[in-house]
């Protein structure tokens, strides 16, 4: 069983690689301006993920990796984003390695302290244990990054659906701005 990661494009290939797609329909409720999202083409692709998980989610004993291809675009004035999540197993951290494009990694503690790190080709980001993470594409090209996490991590999307992050990445006067978001 062989898996290949193309270091120039981030493309993951192999029989064990699974690809998933998230359209704007699949991001219902994630943007500040839900009416703007609902008025857009619901089949428009926001991001694709190619994942190689040697063990099933939640089972310990492996390291997983995935490439995310996040499209450029905005909903209202908010840049296209990934849903974001906490890890169920709070001890589990993650690494994000940017392949191409530009954006912001949004990080948030359980206490809602929120900060960002700029992503560009070659940047490596450590997501500390207990820290929710989301990515926003602030550029004009796809933002491509590879994530690495332990197989026992587990993913909690519900907390973000309910409470969101403590800040949003918006285009204001043509520039990315990190705008605090009330709880
Ligand atoms: O492991 C990760 O955190 C990433 O591979 C994400 O799952 C990926 O970027 C897609 O984001 P989300 O799972 O929040 O929709
Ligand atoms: Ni994660």
Q: Give the residue, by CA position, lying nearest to ligand 1 atom 9.
A: 68
Q: Over 70: is that where the pLDDT of 109 sits? A: yes
Q: Which residues pair with 51 in a beta bridge?
A: 18, 66
Residue 125 beta carbon below 6 angstroms from any ligand 1 atom: no
Query: Contact, 18 vs 50, CB < 8 A?
Result: yes
Question: CA–CA separation, 62 vs 171, rounded Å?
Answer: 39
Question: CA–CA separation, 144 vs 126, rounded Å?
Answer: 16
116: nearest Cα among 134, 98, 101: 134
Residues 141-167 have a mean pLDDT of: 97
In the chain, what percentage of residues exceed pLDDT 70? 99
Query: Contact, 168 vs 177, CB < 8 A?
Result: no
- What tokens were used for 165? 């992050």
Q: What is the pLDDT of residues 1-32, one digit of tens each?
A: 699 999 999 999 999 999 999 999 999 999 99
pTM of the model: 0.97
Q: What is the pLDDT of residues 88-106, one digit of tens each?
A: 999 999 999 999 999 999 9
Residue 85 beta carbon below 6 angstroms from any ligand 1 atom: yes
Confidence band of 174 (pLDDT split at 50, 70, 90)? very high
The C-alpha angle with vertex 118 and arms to 164 and 101, in degrees rounded to 5, equals 100
- What tokens were used for 113? 């302290």
Q: Give the residue, by CA position, lying nearest to ligand 1 atom 11.
A: 82
Mutation to probe ligand 1, out of 17, 52, 69, 85 (largest number of atoms < 8 A from CB): 85
Three-class secondary structure of residue 105 per DSSP: strand
Atom of ligand 1 nearest to the CA of 64: 1
Q: Per residue in 5-43, is it b (16+ CB within 10 Å) or e — as a string?
A: beeeebebeeeebeeeebebeebeebbeeeeebeebeee
pLDDT given at position 1: 64
pLDDT given at position 46: 98
Mutation to probe ligand 1, out of 49, 126, 137, 150 (largest number of atoms < 8 A from CB): 49
Question: CA–CA separation, 57 vs 12, rounded Å?
Answer: 19
């Amino acid at each position: 069983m062989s898996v290949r990661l193309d270091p120039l494009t981030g493309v993951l290939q192999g029989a064990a690689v699974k690809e998933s797609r998230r359209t704007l329909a699949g991001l219902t409720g994630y943007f500040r301006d839900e009416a703007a999202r609902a008025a857009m083409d619901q089949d428009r692709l926001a991001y694709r993920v190619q994942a190689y998980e040697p063990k099933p989610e939640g089972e310990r004993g492996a390291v997983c990796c995935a490439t995310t291809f996040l499209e450029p675009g905005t909903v209202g004035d908010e840049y296209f984003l990934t849903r974001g999540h906490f890890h169920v197993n709070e001890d589990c951290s993650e690494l994000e390695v940017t392949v191409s494009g530009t954006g912001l990694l949004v990080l948030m503690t359980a206490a809602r302290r929120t900060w960002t790190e700029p992503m560009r080709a070659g940047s490596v980001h450590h997501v500390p244990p207990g820290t929710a993470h989301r990515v926003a594409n602030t550029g004009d090209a796809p933002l491509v990054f590879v994530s690495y996490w332990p197989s026992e991590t587990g993913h909690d999307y519900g907390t973000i659906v309910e409470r969101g992050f403590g800040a949003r990445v918006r285009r204001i006067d043509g520039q990315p701005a990190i705008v605090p978001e009330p709880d």
